[in-house]
């Protein structure tokens, strides 16, 4: 090959590499991405076959997903343990292999022959690496007309593989975010369903909520703990023009003082001990959407000052940073404190109070709107049964009577917890009064401290029930789920939420 032809060849291959990189980096759908990868691989390096194998997180087995120029039906059964065959060796050692005499390569396994239209003769096998982790391997198989792969082919393939790894990692992140957004959307969709009432005072609140949703005005939600202030906040977001953007919530009472500022505004690397990398805050993540600051009465004065700037100018700085950032957010705050009293005591800034108090809504406690209890209860029952994939049980007359006579010191939050527990533990077609467990029994072997919050007691009760089921089933989740009459995915989610793994 003369110099000019070689230059044209190199330019053509670099152009193919650029086109291939652009194609895979612009594809978010994972199935389409994997198909694009193997199709592009045959353009970057001339070959008869290519095969993409992925290594699922925590697995020790490569699984073939896509093949070009081979048998797709047999491909679905193709698996290599890490260390097995050339592909397994590459996955284990995270190093590329160029072999032009595959049949005599000591690492060779005949498994790969199952998907190619001709026996393996030559191969480029490349690890797909992201942050030191092997995501899978890309096999480029059989040079046309019995040719041999060259070092130039290897360099091109390695450059392509590095782009492929980035694209797959991004697709994994996108899938995870999509799943998380789906779950959040399901939670969000519940909020408007709960914004129904037969109580005149609450109906007025709902009407004001709908009007508030039509603007970007700041809203302060007042009322006892558990009255459903976050439900109202989510409903405002769902009814607003921002409903396709994030709804981000921060509970000021749930975090230590030293972490709360970082949680809200984010921090730069090295801003404090343990700040190993830069982190975006919740205000930044809420850009374009709604930022809900619950229990704002717990916010310390220095953080109040910084948050006032967000309200007035939509500007902030990360902890330890000097760059001025902006966030287009709609702010909704909530508290069970009397902020005017806190202003008089000097624990809450007066200017922040007035800036928050544009639209003020006071949510009545559940005991003052008993005509809504059964309606809300049925919405919770429907929601949790759909989550668990089970038929929706009816409330028996005795259960309805108990729900209506109870005073609900924990308000809507307590009602939700009681019904979720009844559904998780219930096995009948009807929810009876005994299933509600409104008064937690005190075991003789373990005294329950009733001074703790109700939600904490319910969580501990659930943990004990799940641990007992797992012990009786030898730690096998599927059996424990069957014993508790739960769908296994729902049991897994409960265990994850309650740190039982």
What are 260-272's pLDDT values in tens digits? 999 999 988 888 8
Q: What percent of the chain has pLDDT over 90?
A: 39
Q: What is the pLDDT of residue 170?
A: 83
pLDDT for res 494: 78
**Which distant-in-sequence residues (6+ apart) come within 8 Å of 143 by Cβ?**
46, 47, 48, 100, 121, 122, 149
Residues 100 and 40 in one domain: yes
- At 217 the three-state DSSP class reads coil
112 and 56, same structural domain? Answer: yes
Structure confidence at residue 231 (pLDDT): 92
Q: Once rounded to an integer, what is the mean pLDDT over residues 152-171?
A: 86
Q: What is the mean pLDDT of residues 460-488?
A: 75
Compute the chain's Rg from CA coordinates: 29
Q: Encoding tokens for residue 307?
A: 């948050």
The answer to whether 340 and 297 have CB atoms below 8 angstroms apart is: no
Q: Are residues 328 and 377 in the same domain?
A: no
Does position 475 have pLDDT exceeding 80, yes or no?
no
Q: Who has greater pLDDT, 167 or 16?
A: 167
Answer yes or no: is 264 within a domain: yes
Do the domain assignments include residue 416? yes
- Together in a domain, 267 and 204: yes
pLDDT of amino acid 444: 33
Write out pLDDT tens, residues 188-245: 567 888 888 999 999 999 999 999 999 999 999 999 988 999 999 999 999 999 988 9
In terms of domains, do 217 and 348 share one? Answer: yes
Domain annotation covers residue 424: yes
- 379 lies in the same domain as 306: no
378: left (phi over 0), alpha (psi -120 to 50) or beta: alpha
Q: Which of 229, 296, 230 is nearest to 260 (CA)?
A: 296
Give one DSSP letter per residue of 235-298, joined into a string. Answer: HHHHHSTTTTS-EEEEETTSS-HHHHHHHHHEE-TTSSTT--S-EE-HHHHTTTSEEEEETGGG
**pTM of the shown model:** 0.54
> Cα separation of 85 and 137, whole Å?
12
**CATH number for the domain harbouring residue 471:** 1.10.8.60
Residue 183 lies in a domain: no
Same domain as 105, residue 87: yes
pLDDT, residue 447, reads 47
Does the residue 298 lie in any domain? yes
Q: What is the pLDDT of residue 386?
A: 79
Can you give the CATH number for the domain in which 149 is found?
3.30.450.40
Pair 432, 398: CB distance under 8 Å: yes
Q: How confident is the model over 416-441, as a mean pLDDT?
A: 78
Residue 36 belongs to domain spanning: 3-174
In the chain, the number of structural domains is 3
Three-state secondary-structure class, residue 5: helix
Query: Euclidean distance between the first and final Cα of the chain, in Å?
Result: 62
- Describe the crossing of helices 397-405 and 373-388 by its angle, rounded to 10 degrees: 120
Per-residue model confidence as pLDDT tens digits over 230-253: 999 999 999 999 988 999 999 998
- Residue 438 and residue 408: Cα distance in Å, rounded? 9
* pLDDT given for residue 94 in this prediction: 93
Residues 482 and 460 occupy one common structural domain = yes
Say yes or no: 134 and 260 in one domain.
no
Here the tokens at position 133 are 């982790």
Question: What gap in Å lies between CA 368 and CA 370, rounded to an integer?
Answer: 6
Decide if 188 is inside a domain.
Answer: no
Residues 210 and 277 in one domain: yes
Which tokens hold the place of 98?
């160029």
Q: What is the CATH number of the domain that holds 279?
A: 3.40.50.300
**In this predicted model, what pLDDT tens digit does every residue of 433-473 receive, in sequence order?**
888 877 543 333 344 555 566 667 777 777 888 877 776 77
Mark which of 340, 364, 388 sits at the end of a domain.
364
Give the pLDDT score at 48.
86
Residue 482 pLDDT > 80, yes or no? Answer: no
Residue 185 lies in a domain: no
């Amino acid at each position: 090959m003369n110099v000019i032809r070689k230059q044209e060849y190199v330019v053509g291959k670099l152009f193919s590499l650029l086109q291939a990189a652009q194609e895979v980096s612009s594809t978010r759908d994972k199935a389409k991405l994997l198909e694009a990868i193997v199709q592009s691989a045959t353009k970057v390096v001339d070959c008869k076959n290519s095969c993409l194998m992925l290594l699922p997180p925590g697995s020790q087995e490569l699984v073939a997903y896509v093949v070009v120029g081979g048998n797709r039906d047999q491909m679905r059964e193709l698996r290599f343990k890490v260390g097995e065959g050339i592909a397994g060796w590459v996955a284990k050692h995270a190093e590329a292999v160029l072999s032009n005499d595959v049949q005599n390569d000591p690492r060779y396994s005949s498994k790969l022959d199952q998907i190619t239209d001709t026996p393996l003769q030559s191969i480029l096998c490349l690890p797909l690496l992201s942050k030191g982790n092997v995501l899978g391997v890309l096999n480029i198989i059989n040079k046309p007309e019995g040719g041999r792969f060259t070092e130039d082919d290897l360099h091109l393939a390695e450059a392509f593989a590095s782009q492929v790894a980035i694209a797959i990692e991004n697709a994994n992140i996108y899938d995870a975010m999509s799943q998380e957004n789906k779950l959040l959307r399901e939670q969000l969709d519940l909020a408007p369903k709960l914004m129904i009432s037969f109580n005149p005072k609450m109906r007025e609140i709902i009407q004001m909520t709908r009007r508030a949703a039509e603007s970007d005005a700041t809203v302060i939600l007042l009322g006892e703990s558990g009255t459903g202030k976050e439900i109202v906040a989510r409903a405002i977001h769902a009814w607003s023009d921002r409903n396709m953007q994030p709804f981000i919530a921060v509970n000021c009472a749930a975090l230590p003082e030293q972490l709360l500022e970082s949680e809200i505004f984010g921090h730069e690397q090295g801003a404090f001990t343990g700040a190993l990398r830069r982190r975006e805050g919740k205000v930044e993540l809420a850009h374009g959407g709604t930022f809900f600051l619950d229990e704002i009465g717990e916010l310390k004065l220095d953080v109040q000052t910084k948050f006032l700037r967000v309200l007035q100018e939509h500007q902030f700085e990360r902890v330890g940073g000097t760059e001025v950032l902006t966030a287009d957010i709609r702010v909704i705050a909530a508290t069970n404190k009397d902020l005017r009293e806190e202003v008089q005591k000097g624990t809450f800034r007066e200017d922040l109070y007035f800036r928050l108090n544009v639209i003020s809504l006071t949510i009545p406690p559940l005991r003052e709107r008993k005509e809504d209890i059964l309606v809300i209860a049925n919405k919770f029952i429907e929601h949790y049964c759909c989550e668990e994939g089970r038929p929706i049980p009816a409330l028996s007359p005795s259960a309805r009577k108990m729900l209506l006579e109870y005073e609900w010191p924990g308000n809507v939050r307590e009602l939700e917890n009681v019904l979720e527990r009844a559904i998780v533990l219930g096995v009948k077609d009807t929810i009876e009064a005994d299933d509600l467990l409104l008064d937690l029994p005190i075991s003789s072997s373990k005294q329950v401290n009733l001074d703790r919050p109700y939600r904490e007691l319910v969580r501990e009760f659930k943990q004990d029930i799940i641990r007992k089921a797992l012990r009786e089933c030898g730690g096998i989740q599927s059996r424990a789920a069957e014993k508790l009459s739960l769908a296994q995915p729902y049991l897994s989610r409960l265990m994850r939420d309650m740190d039982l793994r």
